[in-house]
Every structure is written in structure tokens, then in C-alpha cells.
């Protein structure tokens, strides 16, 4: 119970606030949350076998706790709390917290989903810059924090760091968990940035980073080339590096978030210049003309929020 209380204290002051707990299981963290006297607690659990235990806990709360038997990957959290708790993005975070202790095979997929929601100010972030406190495999947490030149730096590092201030709060030894995993657990916290470092649509940034890190130990131009059909590969990949002022002999882990931002800017311009370019996928081995016939012309574009700041006033 001491570890669950420590995890909950890490989430900040919950008294009088709204809390969503994801993956409560038998309710260990749930009890620790309730000790902090939240105004409302909603728990989302996929496994109905935990329902009897959770119902016993809920019955003792006088209506403070609600249970949802649902898959959090599909659940709309933004419908759970009243509209008057919402805050403008540029204001202090809302009185809403998300806490989760998920199975490792789900947690990475979920944080990607929530990072996308963060960029679009949807889901838990429809209320404002909602704080996330989540558990991950220690190695995954290290990748989220990995700086440039680190062997662990990857696509996930960039996606976390451009949108949020991510911190590792503490490590839970695997032997302290029941059932005991073979690895240690990192408690990670995500505070959305008022202004993301990269202002382009999440889907475009994610695709660019996925290709960039495809050959993570080779020159970065190798990964960038996979974004384009053969007819454009050489010219467009060199154009990205030239205008972003990035050496083609750097590897993907050597690049800062700001350098990747600059490259995403050029890639978006190319996708606007060449219809359907964003939807080209070299793995499908489709003729590019076929892609252009069957896909939208424009890439996904970021809608403008009141907090957005245009990074570029003119082309680099």
C-alpha cells in the first residue's frame, strides 16, 4: 500500500479534483486515490472479473466513484466530467488527473493515442492541459526521456518530448509488484506544453519520425528517402536536409527535436506541393500514380488553436 500511496501522491493534490483511473484491477491504487478525497473518481477497467471487488469499493464512497467496464483504447474520457472544469490551454492545468497502471503490452499504444489527443486537445485534454501519471516498463520510460546521442533515443522520445514535459518520478522494483514482472517499473508523468515544439499535425510528425528512425544507426538521409517514391527520393530528401540545415551524415538519434521540427516543416510543404505524397507508403509497393488516384490530395493539417504559435514566418 505504501507504493500505491506514493504513486498517487506523485500525481499531485487530488482533494476536490476529478480523477480518472485506468486499469484499476483489484483496486489497490483506487483505495489510495480515495484517501485523497477527490470530488469524483471514474475507473475504467476492461476485465469484468474485477467488477465485484470494485463495486465493493464504490459502495463505500457515497457516489464519489463510478465504474466503467470498457476498453480505454476506445473509451471517450472527455464525456466523464462536467464542462465547468475546463480550462483554456494557456491557463493552469484543470482539476482533472489521469492515473494508470496498465499492462505493459497496452501502455505504449495508449500513450501514443493520448499524445495524439494531446496534440489535438481532445480526449482527456478537452479539459485543458490534463496531467497524466502512468506506469511503464523501465526501459520504455528511459526511451521517453532519451536525449540526443543516446542509444535509446527513438521515435517515442521525440513524440513525448515535443508535446509534453515528461519526467520519471520514481522506479518500482519488479519484485515489489504482484504478480511480479521480470522488469522494473517506471512511474512517468506527462505535463502538456502550452506550445508544442512542433506545430504540425501529429500524424505527419509521427510518420516522419517513423521513417527517420527506420534506419536509426545509419545516416538520417536513408530513413528520409523512404518517405518518397523513386522519382522524388533523391531531390526531396536532399531538399529537406538542405533547407533544415541538417547534415546528411548525422544519424536519427543525433537530431534535436528542433531540427526534426524544421524537417517536418519542409516535408509538409512537399506534401502540399505534390498531391497525395503524404499517403505514399513504400512498403505497399504501389505505383505512386495509383496512390494519387485513390488518396486525398492534402496531408492532415493542424487546426489552429488559440495557443498555437507559428514557428516559421517564412520558408527556411
203 annotated to a ligand binding site:
no
Residue 233 C-alpha cell reads as 527520393
262 in a labelled binding site: no
308 known member of a binding site: no
Closest CA to 254 of 215, 205, 204, 311: 215
- Report whether 182 belongs to an annotated binding site: no
HSE on the CB side for 54, CA within 13 Å?
26
- The C-alpha atoms of residue 77 and residue 29 are separated, in whole angstroms, by 19
The CA R_g of the chain, rounded to the nearest whole Å, is 21
Phi, psi of 60 (to 5 degrees): -90, 0
Known binding residue 71? Answer is yes
Q: Which residue has the cell 505493459?
A: 104
Task: Please name the residue that has the C-alpha cell 483554456.
Answer: 88
Contact 65, 41 (CB under 8 A): yes
Give 82: exposed, middle or buried? Use CB within 10 Å, 0-12, 13-18, 19+. exposed
On whether the CB atoms of residues 139 and 183 are closer than 8 A, the answer is yes
d(CA 203, CA 209): 10
Residue ranges for the known binding site for S-adenosyl-L-methionine are 1, 23, 45, 71, 101
Q: Which residues are annotated as a binding site?
A: 1, 23, 45, 71, 101
Amino acid at each position: 500500500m505504501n507504493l500505491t500511496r506514493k504513486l498517487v501522491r506523485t500525481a499531485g493534490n487530488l482533494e476536490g479534483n476529478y480523477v480518472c483511473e485506468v486499469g484499476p484491477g483489484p483496486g489497490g491504487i483506487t483505495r489510495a486515490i480515495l484517501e485523497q478525497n477527490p470530488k469524483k473518481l471514474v475507473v475504467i477497467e476492461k476485465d469484468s472479473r474485477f467488477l465485484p471487488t470494485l463495486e465493493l469499493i464504490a459502495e463505500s464512497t457515497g457516489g464519489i466513484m463510478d465504474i466503467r467496464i470498457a476498453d480505454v483504447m476506445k473509451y471517450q474520457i472527455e464525456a466523464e466530467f462536467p464542462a465547468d472544469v475546463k480550462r483554456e490551454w494557456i491557463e493552469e492545468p484543470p482539476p482533472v488527473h489521469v492515473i494508470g497502471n496498465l499492462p505493459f503490452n497496452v501502455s505504449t499504444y495508449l500513450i501514443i493515442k493520448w499524445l495524439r489527443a494531446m496534440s489535438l486537445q481532445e480526449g482527456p485534454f478537452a479539459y485543458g492541459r490534463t496531467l497524466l501519471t502512468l506506469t511503464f516498463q523501465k526501459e520504455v520510460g528511459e526511451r521517453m526521456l532519451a536525449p540526443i546521442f543516446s542509444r535509446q533515443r527513438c521515435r517515442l522520445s521525440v513524440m513525448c518530448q515535443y508535446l509534453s514535459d515528461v519526467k520519471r518520478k520514481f522506479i518500482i522494483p519488479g519484485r515489489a509488484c504482484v504478480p511480479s514482472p521480470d522488469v522494473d517499473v517506471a512511474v512517468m508523468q506527462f505535463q502538456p506544453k502550452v506550445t508544442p515544439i512542433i506545430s504540425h499535425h501529429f500524424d505527419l510528425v509521427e510518420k516522419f519520425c517513423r521513417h527517420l528512425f527506420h534506419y536509426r544507426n545509419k545516416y538520417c538521409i536513408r530513413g528520409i528517402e523512404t518517405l518518397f517514391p523513386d522519382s522524388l527520393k533523391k531531390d526531396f530528401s536532399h531538399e529537406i536536409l538542405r533547407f533544415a540545415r541538417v547534415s546528411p551524415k548525422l544519424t536519427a538519434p543525433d537530431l534535436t527535436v528542433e531540427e526534426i521540427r524544421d524537417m517536418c516543416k519542409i516535408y509538409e510543404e512537399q506534401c502540399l506541393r505534390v498531391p497525395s505524397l503524404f499517403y505514399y507508403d513504400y512498403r505497399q509497393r504501389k505505383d505512386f500514380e495509383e496512390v494519387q488516384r485513390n488518396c486525398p490530395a492534402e496531408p492532415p493539417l493542424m487546426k489552429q488553436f488559440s495557443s498555437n504559435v507559428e514557428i516559421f514566418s517564412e520558408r527556411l
